[in-house]
Amino acid sequence: MKLYHNPRCSKSRQTLQLLQDRGHAPEVVRYLETPPTVAELDRICTALGAGPESLVRFKEDAAKALGLNPGDDRSRQAWLQLLADNPVLIERPILVVGSRAAIGRPPEAVLAVL
């Protein structure tokens, strides 16, 4: 069990607390300090059953500075590389359990993969 976590994010903190309250001790990855690789991001997207653009926080200043839009015509690989290069754009938190994953928005959404 791995939680991609940003301790400055209230939803991320709530998700970690929810897991701990239920007796789980996930491996916590502070993804801003230790960004996931392209391969890790690809596995996360596969586990989510979603494309990498679904992980992009388009309202972030960094996304605006890069001129990103949800309908951008980029390849999967290009989106994955963009996220690996700019981890601040990654939606959080993300819980990965085996071959399944969920985004903790709301925090209770991660319960589906336990």
* Alpha-carbon 54 to chain mean position: 9
Q: What is the CATH number of the domain that holds 49?
A: 3.40.30.10
Q: How far apart are CA 95 and CA 109, in angstroms?
A: 10
Bridge partners of 2, per DSSP, are 27, 96
Report how far residue 81's alpha carbon sits from residue 41's, in angstroms, rounded to the nearest whole number: 9
For 43-84, the pLDDT digits (tens) are 999 999 999 999 999 999 999 999 999 989 999 999 999 999
Q: Residue 79: helix, strand or coil by DSSP?
A: helix
Q: Report pLDDT for 113.
A: 97
Domain range spanning residue 29? 2-113
Catalytic residue among 1, 2, 9, 88: 9
Look at residue 46 in the predicted model and tell me its pLDDT. 98
- Please give the tally of structural domains in the chain: 1
**Residue 30 banded pLDDT, cuts 50, 70, 90:** very high
Active site residue 45: no
